[in-house]
Amino acid sequence: MTLPTRSTRKDQICLLLKGIETGDAAVVTVVNESKYIQHNPQTHEGSEGLAALFKRLSKTSPRVNIVRVFEDGDYVFAHTEYDFANSNIGFEIFRFEGGQAVEHWDNIQRRSGPNPSNHSMVDGPTDITDINLTEVNRELVRSFVKDVLVNRQLEKLEDYISNEHFTQHNPLIADGLIALHRALAATTEKSHLIKYNRNHRILAEGDFVLSVSEGFYSGDHSAFFDLFRVSGNKLVEHWDTIEAIPPQAEWKNDNGKF
């Protein structure tokens, strides 16, 4: 897939992520390891230098593909495919101070699908458009997450979702507004199957907007990373990853998932 035109920071992060595959120690200079804050709760902070880690991982013949990459102020965020022992889909977020990355969040889900509409978890447009509408699109997604996902005002779905065209990349949900409504309304024996409690961050570039939230999925405390494409002031496409958050007693650093 063709990546959009990249700034220096986008290039640096793409090279950093590909360093897992190549083992190139030079790419880790984009990270200020003395200030680096790691939010993956399953990763020890400062236990192994990135250069040594990448060199070790590269010997396992990993495959890394950066499908989409975006920049929003001091943040660069990417939509990625990883093939290690398992095939996974991820979102990676890096915060920069000056010329180096100093903070990192991610959300990884085992690849599955195609979904009932025959879409994969990563296919679809990659080119960024409507840069002048970045803030408008950010606020649209912010309102959608608040009204529909957190406050569960499902009757407002039509205010945000195109009736005519909504492409869904979640591996379990089909295209269209009706399928999304059914998924959000679905319940387990004790609670809603999908329950958003809080939104932590909205990042945007042009017609693409990433929402970072926490809540519960099938009763498990989980992180929801939702990427939306916006067109005509409606949400027209959606990709996501859902990852269970381990109990705090099992965290390998004290920074929290968010």
State the CATH number of the domain containing residue 197: 3.10.450.50
**Strand order, beta sheet including 234-244:** 167-168, 234-244, 220-231, 208-217, 194-205
Which residue, 116, 66, 58, 60, is CA-closest to 89? 66
Residue 4 has pLDDT above 50, yes or no: no
- Residue 222 domain-assigned? yes
Residues 143 and 228 in one domain: yes
Residue 168 has pLDDT above 50, yes or no: yes
- Residue 72 domain-assigned? yes
Q: What is the pTM of this model?
A: 0.93
Residues 154 and 220 in one domain: yes
Q: What is the pLDDT of residues 171-214, one digit of tens each?
A: 999 999 999 999 999 997 778 999 999 999 999 999 999 999 99
Q: What is the pLDDT of residues 94-114, one digit of tens each?
A: 999 989 999 999 999 999 999
pLDDT for the residue numbered 1: 41
Residues 222 and 147 in one domain: yes
**Domain carrying residue 47:** 8-114
Amino acid at 94: F
Between 170-179, 213-222, 247-256, the lowest mean confidence (pLDDT) is in: 247-256
CA–CA distances in Å: residue 243 to residues 3, 4, 19, 109, 214: 26, 27, 24, 6, 10
Residues 102 and 14 in one domain: yes
- Residue 255 domain-assigned? no
- Residue 253 domain-assigned? no
Residues 138 and 216 in one domain: yes
**Per-residue tokens: 6:** 């990249």
Residues 6+ apart with CB under 8 A from 12: 27, 30, 76, 101
Residues 49 and 107 in one domain: yes
The mean pLDDT of 232-241, rounded to a whole number, is 97
Please say which residue of 68, 87, 114 terminates a domain: 114
Q: What is the pLDDT of residues 22-59, one digit of tens each?
A: 888 888 889 998 899 999 888 876 656 677 777 877 88
Which residue, 158, 160, 164, is CA-closest to 139? 160
- Residue 201 domain-assigned? yes
Residue 6 has pLDDT above 70, yes or no: no
pLDDT for the residue numbered 68: 98
